[in-house]
């Protein structure tokens, strides 16, 4: 009967209508009630605390799945432990009390170590998960976002701009004569140029803008809530900043320029890919116009 009563009290922790506490508190409450029910029910039996201490300590091995730190562990374990000590003092001889406390204390230590291991495993798994997410959305060399992430953001930005009738500009950027840099100075210097250009472009943009490496020496910017005029001014600042950039190699200072093509969203664009295509065409026009310039799609 005692165990049934305390099981009912434990169930309150899972009944959100009655218990409005956090998930951790509800789990702790349920552990308190279930453990107390087992201890009191065992104590009612003749010699129960002596013979049944093994069954009592089994409940401690659920604590690592409840507690999320040392303080929470102590809060979860302490009330049932005090109840066990009080019942043992009242019923057991001194040798029996010492044996029971030793067994119970050892189980507490083991449960604490299990909790620490579980926390370490969860932290390690979370770290790996975050790294996998970052690797899936970022370019390994430059550390900026990659093409897959840009495609997702472009689709979202296009959909939002179309729905709320706001302005949206796509910007394609390409380093001029980048192959010449690799051929003349080597791929290591070329990599440093890519990273320096990426940092320069990113430092020119707003926090609300999306930017990443589209592939090779091409970069892509998504400028939401931006007019054509403002986007052209931004692109010109990027062009000038990249032109002023200097990358030191072993035997020379390397400078590069960049060509930029822009496309503002139009009613004729059926998808974000259509707008992207127009920005790419504007980039091609910038290349044909002598490079190191900015061109806007009609």
Token pair for 229: 């005029």
The answer to whether residue 218 is catalytic is no
User: Scanning the structure block, which residue is given the tokens 């003749």?
Assistant: 46
Tell me how long the chain is: 298
Give, as one character, the DSSP assignment of residue 154: H
Catalytic residue among 96, 129, 207, 217: 217
Torsional sign, CA 14, 76, 98, 102: positive
| Spatial distance between the Cα atoms of 192 and 164, rounded to a whole number of angstroms | 40
Give, as one character, the DSSP assignment of residue 141: T
Query: Which pairing describes strands 168-175 and 258-264: parallel, antiparallel, or unpaired?
Result: antiparallel
Estimate to the nearest angstrom the gap between the alpha carbon of 172 and the chain centroid: 28
Token pair for 236: 């010109």
* H or E element, residue 198: helix 187-204
Strands of the chain, DSSP E:
168-175, 210-215, 218-224, 247-248, 253-254, 258-264, 294-296
| Spatial distance between the Cα atoms of 34 and 40, rounded to a whole number of angstroms | 10
* Residues acting as catalytic residues: 217
């Amino acid at each position: 009967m005692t165990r049934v009563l305390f099981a009912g009290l434990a169930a309150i922790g899972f009944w959100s209508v009655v218990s409005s506490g956090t998930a951790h508190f509800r789990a702790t409450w349920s552990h308190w009630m279930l453990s107390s029910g087992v201890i009191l029910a065992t104590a009612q039996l003749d010699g129960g605390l002596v013979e049944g201490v093994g069954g009592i300590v089994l409940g401690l091995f659920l604590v690592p799945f409840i507690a999320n730190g040392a303080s929470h562990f102590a809060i979860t374990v302490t009330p049932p432990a005090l109840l066990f000590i009080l019942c043992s003092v009242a019923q057991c001889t001194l040798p029996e009390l010492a044996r029971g406390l030793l067994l119970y204390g050892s189980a507490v230590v083991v449960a604490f170590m299990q909790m620490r291991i579980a926390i370490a495993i969860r932290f390690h798994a979370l770290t790996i998960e975050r790294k996998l997410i970052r690797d899936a959305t970022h370019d390994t060399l430059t550390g900026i976002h990659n093409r897959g992430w840009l495609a997702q953001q472009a689709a979202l930005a296009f959909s939002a701009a179309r729905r709320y009738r706001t302005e949206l500009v796509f910007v394609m950027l390409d380093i001029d004569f980048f192959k010449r840099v690799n051929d003349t100075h080597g791929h290591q210097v070329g990599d440093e140029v890519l990273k320096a250009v990426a940092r320069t472009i990113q430092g020119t943009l707003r926090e609300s803008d999306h930017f990443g490496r589209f592939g090779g020496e091409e970069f892509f910017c998504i400028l939401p809530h931006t007019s054509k005029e403002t986007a052209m001014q931004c692109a010109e600042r990027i062009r000038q900043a990249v032109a002023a950039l200097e990358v030191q190699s072993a035997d020379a200072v390397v400078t590069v320029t960049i060509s930029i093509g822009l496309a503002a969203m139009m009613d004729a664009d059926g998808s974000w890919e259509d707008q992207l295509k127009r920005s790419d065409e504007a980039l091609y026009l910038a290349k044909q116009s002598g490079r190191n310039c900015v061109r806007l799609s009609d």
